[in-house]
Amino acid sequence: MPRYEYRCRPCGSTFELNRPMAESSAPAVCPEGHEDTVKLLSTVAVGGSASAPASAPSGGGGGGGCCGGGCCG
């Protein structure tokens, strides 16, 4: 089940709720009982490295371009 992050406007606390996607935009009450909350946008962390694509050659060479560094025309 997805986890959504919310911020309470009156007390400023941030809290998370596990709820179905169909209820993602439903009002949320903070743990202190305040009803004036807003859903925050969250980023998703995905494992791996952004330094080089898996298909990149591992050695010198290369420039990129449409042919991976070869002569295109």
Q: How confident is the model over 21-47, as pLDDT tens digits? A: 999 889 999 999 999 999 998 776 667
Mean residue pLDDT across the chain: 79
Residue 4 CA to residue 44 CA, distance in Å, equals: 11
What predicted TM-score, i.e. pTM, was given to this entire model? 0.56
Tell me, what's the pLDDT at 38?
95
Rounded to the nearest 5 degrees, what angle is found at the Cα of 56, between the Cα atoms of 55 and 60? 150
